[in-house]
Amino acid sequence: MKFANYLKPDFTFRKISDLHPEFCYENGIKALIFDLDDTLAVEHSGIISEDLIEKIKELLEAKIKVGIITNNFFSTYCKKVRDLLLENGLELPTIENAYKPSIESFRSFLEFWNLAPEEIGMVGDGILTDTMGAKLQGLKSIRVRWFQARFLKQDFLLFLRELLVTVSDSFRRFVLQHKSLHFNFERKEGREIVFLINTESGSYKQNEEGLQIKIEELNKATNKNFCTVSIKDEKAIKKFARQIKFGFIDTLVAVGGDGTVREAINLISQNWKVNLGIIPLGTGNLLAKRLKIPLSFEEALEVVLQNNMKTLSLGSVNEKYFAMIAGCGVDASIMKETKSEHKQLMGPLAYLVQAAIKLFQFRRHIFIIKLNGITFRKNAVTVISMIGNNLIEAFIPGAVDESVQEKDHNSLDVYIVKENPNRLDLINSSINLLRDQHKEDPNIEHFKTDELSIISRPNCDVQIDGDYFGTTPIKVKLHKNILNVLVPE
């Protein structure tokens, strides 16, 4: 398609009031997306006329879906529009700060409505943002106030202004890193509680029948829809990911170990309003133990139903989230080489066996670390970024004194375990680190930061929350108070 064709709409109307349901039926259009400023509302007024409100109601009554996409990023203004629509009984799915003509916003509506591109019409006054954006995604373009001879000068100036706004939006998005796509989508009654299950977990296999019976009982006893999905079912995961994104799921319950919890967190990252529940049926169950979630699936399920929430900070490694710890070096090599069948057979002891083997095989690395604006080099066996405390409890239950206080969760604690040829000193340093008794240990350096980057020579293994992740280089960040997790009262 020639570039000029992307700027030419499929249909033109002088005003929206001329757009009738019959037009949609005749052209196979099942849904309409409206631009906001200078289409539904006078620019920056936040006011939609009664005639246009009635037109939207007419379309909805005719079973034509209606939504709004706007590049406007002023939250108070957009809320004013949503409140006005709600006052008139209209709860329309809306995307704000959409960065049209970026196709991401249009694609979100395709997923939300589960329609083909040619079944959706984009109604707007913009040549670049609305017309070109819609045609890039394959939607039908419907432009209001198209070029006419007596409006040529006015439309040319509007085109220049739109070009400047598009350049400005690109600068905000790619240079200033402003977040895009603020979703305000419809919410369904009786939203789902989804159990994300690691069916390979030995503990799950032992409790599978009892858990399924409990879920069936909950479905009969409540007005919510309780359902299950295997972590291995990629097609189902993709479906639930869309539902999470658009707010149709209340709670995602991770049934398994820390790896399953991490997978659940990364699904929830599309919509932080979704709660995380945990039924700890894994090997380490690190996060569950720190949050004092019972290891019995019946008691853990009761915690989910109590709906008592705590907000947690999370870390990320190369934009993948973790809840407790990320490390690169010997600890990650231990995680990588501990086989799943050994974990099922020996539980946490499998890690200790592999650690004993690694004690005589580990490789030292040169780490180039940047944090708090400073870059430095260290010869070390591992670099660990930690949120929280008492990690040894995941491997040796009861070994940590309960009087030891948790650390400040509003920063990353970074520990560098330096190179030491004495293996006994390395063991002692590892125990001091896990017991939070590192301050007097000459082999451990400690820093607090919000983010850091790590390069190693040679590249070394990386683990997050006890599972192998990949290799360096990595960038680690702290994200403060973003996850709602269900905990005991």
Among 111-125, 161-175, 195-209, 316-330, the range scoring the smallest mean pLDDT is 161-175
- In this structure, the dihedral spanned by the alpha carbons of residues 309, 311, 315 and 316, taken in order and rounded to 10 degrees, is 70
Q: Give the confidence band of 215 by pLDDT, cuts at 50, 70, 90.
A: confident
Res 196: pLDDT: 94
Q: Tokens representing 419?
A: 């190179």
Is the pLDDT confidence value at 242 over 70?
Answer: yes
Positive or negative, the CA dihedral 254, 256, 257, 262 is: negative
Res 147: pLDDT: 43
Res 189: pLDDT: 45
Distance CA(485)–CA(285), nearest Å, equals 15
Res 395: pLDDT: 47
Q: For 313-370, what is each residue's pLDDT tens digit?
A: 999 999 899 998 899 988 888 778 776 666 666 665 666 666 666 666 666 789 999 9
What are the residues whose beta carbons fall under 8 Å from the beta carbon of 431, sequence distance 6 or more? 392, 437
Is the pLDDT confidence value at 181 over 70?
Answer: no
Is the pLDDT confidence value at 96 over 80?
Answer: yes
Q: Tokens representing 59?
A: 């379309």
Picking from 365, 375, 374, the residue whose alpha carbon sits closest to that of residue 419 is 365
Distance CA(348)–CA(373), nearest Å, equals 38
Is the pLDDT confidence value at 34 over 60?
Answer: yes
Q: For 118-132, what is each residue's pLDDT tens digit?
A: 999 999 988 878 888
Among 43-57, 102-116, 299-313, 397-411, the range scoring the smallest mean pLDDT is 397-411
Higher pLDDT, 362 or 111: 111
Q: What value does the mean pLDDT of the chain take?
A: 81
Res 207: pLDDT: 83
Higher pLDDT, 377 or 87: 377
For range 271-300, the mean pLDDT: 88
Distance CA(279)–CA(297), nearest Å, equals 6
Q: Can you count the helices (H) and strands (E) in the chain? A: 16, 22
Q: For 369-383, what is each residue's pLDDT tens digit?
A: 999 889 999 998 889
For range 195-209, the mean pLDDT: 84
In 3-state terms, what secondary structure has residue 485? strand
For range 266-286, the mean pLDDT: 89
Res 472: pLDDT: 93
For range 61-84, the mean pLDDT: 86
Distance CA(268)–CA(250), nearest Å, equals 10
Show the 3-state SS of 331-343: HHHHHHHCCHHHH
Is the pLDDT confidence value at 166 over 60?
Answer: yes
428: left (phi over 0), alpha (psi -120 to 50) or beta: alpha
Picking from 108, 110, 87, 83, the residue whose alpha carbon sits closest to that of residue 97 is 108
Picking from 305, 182, 313, the residue whose alpha carbon sits closest to that of residue 247 is 182
C-alpha separations of 53 from 84, 336, 466 in Å:
10, 59, 54
Cβ 165 vs Cβ 197: under 8 Å: no
Is the pLDDT confidence value at 200 over 80?
Answer: yes
Cβ 353 vs Cβ 410: under 8 Å: no
Is the pLDDT confidence value at 204 over 90?
Answer: no
Res 343: pLDDT: 62
Q: For 435-481, what is each residue's pLDDT tens digit?
A: 666 676 778 888 989 999 999 999 999 999 888 899 999 999 999 99
Res 146: pLDDT: 46
Q: For 384-429, what is each residue's pLDDT tens digit?
A: 888 865 454 444 445 444 444 444 467 788 989 887 656 666 666 7
What are the residues whose beta carbons fall under 8 Å from the beta carbon of 482, sequence distance 6 or more? 272, 311, 312, 313, 314
Res 30: pLDDT: 95
Is the pLDDT confidence value at 44 over 70?
Answer: no
Task: Tell me the range of 56-70, 219-233, 361-375, 379-393 where mean pLDDT is highest.
Answer: 56-70
Cβ 252 vs Cβ 264: under 8 Å: yes
413: left (phi over 0), alpha (psi -120 to 50) or beta: beta
Distance CA(317)–CA(339), nearest Å, equals 23
Q: Tokens representing 248?
A: 């149709």
Task: Tell me the range of 179-183, 309-313, 402-406 where mean pLDDT is highest.
Answer: 309-313
